[in-house]
Amino acid sequence: MTEENEWGLRPLAPGEVNRLRELAAAATADLARSGLVIFDQENPHWETSAGGLRVEVDEFDDAAGGIWLHWEVHPSLREATSGALLGQRLDDPVIETAGRIHEQMASAILRMLGALGYVAEVSDDDYRPFAIKVLSAAI
């Protein structure tokens, strides 16, 4: 049995972590073969990369755990959106534009996963807006 960490989160069992990582790798490979660019946050130049699909494996045993796919826009749009939010310019058109792009890409990624035989759903997690949660590969 795994112990909770200092924030009260319990890590998944090693077998479940391996299953998630394998599923994430398979889904990522299939989406890359379909033409999506995979955004590599491990790349030291990730902040200036053109964007693409970011894959997150949350290895904790809670409702937020699992495989999450996030669309990352070009750095210029990320910076403009962040600047508008930090400047409290909530009516800046760049915020709406970025939101529409994220919404449309989430929809497209969800449809692509379905075509590839995966079961996935749109996030209802406030901390992961527009994310896609990969649940399983269809049998």
Q: What is the pLDDT of residue 90?
A: 96
132 to 7, 10, 56, 85, 127: CA distances (angstroms)? 25, 23, 10, 23, 12
Q: How confident is the model at residue 12 (pLDDT cuts 50, 70, 90)?
A: confident
Q: What is the pLDDT of residue 11?
A: 85
Whether residue 56 contacts residue 71, with contact meaning beta carbons closer than 8 Å, is answered with no
Instruction: Indicate the pTM of the whole model.
Output: 0.86
**Other C-beta atoms within 10 Å of 39: how many?**
18
Q: How far apart are CA 48 and CA 75, in angstroms?
A: 6
